[in-house]
Structure 1
Amino acid sequence: MDFVFANQDSSGWIGPEVFDLTKPRYLWGRYLFLFGVIQLIEYDPSIADSAIPQIWKFVELAHTMLQNNEGMDIWGQTRWGDFVMVLEWLYEHYPNDNEDLLVDTMSLLKANGTRWDEVLSQSVFPTVAVENLPNPFNNPLVWHGVNMAEGLKSGAAAYRYTHNETLLDLMSNGWDLLFEYHGRPSGIFAADEHLAGLQAIRGTELCVIVETMFTGSYLFQVSGDTKFADRAERIAYNALPAQLTGTMWSRQYLQEQNQVAARNMTDNPFPSDGPYSNVFGLEPNYPCCTVNHPQGYPKFVTNAFVTTPDKSSLVHVYLGPFATQTTLANNNNVNVSVDTMYPFADTLTTTINADQAFTYYVRVPSWVPNATIAVNGGNPEAVSPQNGLQSIQVGAGTTTLVMDVTPEITLEQRPENSIAVHRGPLHYAFDISRNYTVLKQNAMQPLAVDLQFLYTDTWEYAIDPDTITFNYDPPANGTLPSPIYDHELPPMSMTVTACQITWGLGGETFADSPPENATCSGSPMNITLWPYGATKLRIGEFPTFKAND
Structure 2
Amino acid sequence: MHQHLESTVLKASSCSDLQKCICAMLNRAVFALVSLSFAFVRAQNVTGLAPKKFLSLPLGSIKPAGWLHDQLLVQTNGLAGHERDFYDYVAQSDWIGGDSYYSSLEEAGSYWFNGMVPNGVLVDDPTIQAQTQQFLDYVLDHQDSTGWLGPEVNTTKPRYLWGRYPFFFGAIQMVEANPSLTDRVVSALYKFVALANTMLHDGEGLEDWTKTRWEDFVITLQWLYDFHPNGQEDILIDTMKMLKWTGDPWEDVFKQEYFPQEAVENLQNPFPVLTWHGVNMAEGLKALPATYRFTHNQSDLDAASLGWDLLFEYHGRPSGIYAADEYLAGLEAARGTELCLVVETMFSGSYLYQVIGDPKFADRVERITYNALPATLTGNMWSRQYLQQQNQIAAKNMTPDPFPTDGPYSNVFGLEPNYPCCTVNHPQGWPKFVSNAFVTTADQKSLVQVYLGPFSTNTTLASGNKVTVNVDTLYPFSDTLTATITAQKAFTHFVRIPSWVSNATISINGGSPRAVSPSNGLQAVSAKAGTTKFVLNLPSNITIESRPQGSVAVHRGPLHYAFDISRSQKVLAQNAEETQAVDLEFDATEAWQYAIDPSTLKFNSAVPTGDKLPSPIFDSGLPPFTITATACPVNWTIAGDTFAAAPPTSPACVGPTTDITLWPFGATKLRIGEFPTFEST
- Shorter-chain TM-score tier: over 0.9
Report the alpha carbon displacement of residue 161 of structure 1 after superposing the two structures with TM.
1.3
The residue that corresponds to 2:411 in the other structure is 278
Letter in 2 for 1:247: N
- Tell whether 2:489 aligns with 1:356: yes
Letter in 1 for 2:612: T
Distance 1:376 1:443 in 2: 57
The residue that corresponds to 2:118 in the other structure is none
Distance 1:349 1:46 in 2: 35
Matches within 5 A, 1:414-425: 414-425=547-558
The residue that corresponds to 2:150 in the other structure is 15
Return the match for 2:357 from 224, 236, 249.
224
The residue that corresponds to 2:391 in the other structure is 258
Matches within 5 A, 1:289-368: 289-368=422-501
Return the match for 1:479 from 612, 634, 637.
612
The residue that corresponds to 1:64 in the other structure is 198
Report the alpha carbon displacement of residue 369 of structure 1 after superposing the two structures with TM.
2.4
Which one has a larger percent helix, Structure 1 or Structure 2? 2
Distance 2:259 2:422 in 1: 26
The residue that corresponds to 2:520 in the other structure is 387
Distance 1:370 1:320 in 2: 19
The residue that corresponds to 1:195 in the other structure is 328
Q: Deviations over 1:176-200 (max 9, x none)?
A: 0000000000000000000000000
The residue that corresponds to 1:182 in the other structure is 315
The residue that corresponds to 2:602 in the other structure is 469
- Tell whether 2:248 aligns with 1:135: no
Return the match for 1:169 from 283, 302, 308.
302
Report the alpha carbon displacement of residue 49 of structure 1 after superposing the two structures with TM.
2.5
Distance 2:651 2:178 in 1: 58
Report the alpha carbon displacement of residue 436 of structure 1 after superposing the two structures with TM.
0.3
Distance 1:253 1:317 in 2: 29
Return the match for 2:228 from 91, 94, 99.
94
Report the alpha carbon displacement of residue 73 of structure 1 after superposing the two structures with TM.
1.0
- Tell whether 2:239 aligns with 1:105: yes
Q: Deviations over 1:381-424 (max 9, x none)?
A: 11111111111110011111101111110000000000000000
Report the alpha carbon displacement of residue 298 of structure 1 after superposing the two structures with TM.
0.7
Matches within 5 A, 1:7-46: 7-19=142-154, 21-46=155-180
Letter in 2 for 1:382: A
Letter in 2 for 1:125: F
Unaligned runs of 5+ in 2: 1-135
The residue that corresponds to 2:97 in the other structure is none
Give the conservation status (yes or no) of the 8 Å contact 1:268–1:275. yes
Q: Deviations over 1:136-173 (max 9, x none)?
A: 12x21010000000011100001011111101100100
Report the alpha carbon displacement of residue 23 of structure 1 after superposing the two structures with TM.
2.6
Distance 1:12 1:409 in 2: 56
Report the alpha carbon displacement of residue 346 of structure 1 after superposing the two structures with TM.
0.5
Report the alpha carbon displacement of residue 17 of structure 1 after superposing the two structures with TM.
1.5
- Tell whether 2:657 aligns with 1:521: no
The residue that corresponds to 2:566 in the other structure is 433
Report the alpha carbon displacement of residue 18 of structure 1 after superposing the two structures with TM.
3.0
Report the alpha carbon displacement of residue 205 of structure 1 after superposing the two structures with TM.
0.3
How many residue pairs are counted as aligned between the two chains? 546
Give the conservation status (yes or no) of the 8 Å contact 1:18–1:24. no
Letter in 1 for 2:414: G
Letter in 2 for 1:140: V
Distance 2:396 2:478 in 1: 34
The percentage of aligned residue pairs carrying the same residue is 64
Return the match for 1:2 from 115, 137, 140.
137
Give the TM-score normalised by the residue count of structure 2. 0.80
Distance 1:84 1:381 in 2: 44
The residue that corresponds to 1:51 in the other structure is 185
Q: Deviations over 1:250-298 (max 9, x none)?
A: 0000000000000001211100000000000011000000000000011
Return the match for 1:445 from 570, 578, 584.
578
Give the TM-score normalised by the residue count of structure 1. 0.99
Report the alpha carbon displacement of residue 516 of structure 1 after superposing the two structures with TM.
0.3
Letter in 2 for 1:127: Q
Distance 1:8 1:209 in 2: 32
Distance 2:614 2:180 in 1: 37
Letter in 1 for 2:214: W
Helix, strand or coil for the counterpart of 2:221?
helix
- Tell whether 2:340 aligns with 1:207: yes
Superposed CA RMSD in Å reads 0.7
Distance 1:124 1:511 in 2: 31
Q: Higher relative CO (CA 8 A, sep ≥ 6), structure 1 or 2?
A: 2
Letter in 1 for 2:212: T
Report the alpha carbon displacement of residue 443 of structure 1 after superposing the two structures with TM.
1.3
Unaligned runs of 5+ in 1: none
Report the alpha carbon displacement of residue 2 of structure 1 after superposing the two structures with TM.
1.0
Return the match for 1:123 from 232, 238, 257.
257
Distance 2:143 2:380 in 1: 36
Helix, strand or coil for the counterpart of 1:477?
helix
Distance 1:70 1:474 in 2: 60
The residue that corresponds to 2:590 in the other structure is 457
Distance 2:348 2:176 in 1: 19
- Tell whether 2:248 aligns with 1:114: yes
The residue that corresponds to 2:65 in the other structure is none
Distance 2:489 2:258 in 1: 52
Matches within 5 A, 1:139-154: 139-154=272-287
Helix, strand or coil for the counterpart of 2:242?
helix
Give the conservation status (yes or no) of the 8 Å contact 1:18–1:25. no
Helix, strand or coil for the counterpart of 2:308?
helix
Letter in 1 for 2:179: P
Helix, strand or coil for the counterpart of 2:299?
helix
Report the alpha carbon displacement of residue 46 of structure 1 after superposing the two structures with TM.
1.5
Give the conservation status (yes or no) of the 8 Å contact 1:31–1:83. yes
Letter in 1 for 2:346: M
Letter in 2 for 1:323: S
Q: Deviations over 1:304-338 (max 9, x none)?
A: 00000000000000000011110000000011110
Distance 1:444 1:477 in 2: 39
Report the alpha carbon displacement of residue 439 of structure 1 after superposing the two structures with TM.
0.5
Report the alpha carbon displacement of residue 517 of structure 1 after superposing the two structures with TM.
1.1
Runs of 4+ in 1 over 6 A off after TM superposition: none
Distance 2:642 2:187 in 1: 54
Letter in 2 for 1:62: A
Letter in 2 for 1:237: Y
Distance 1:172 1:226 in 2: 11
Letter in 2 for 1:528: T
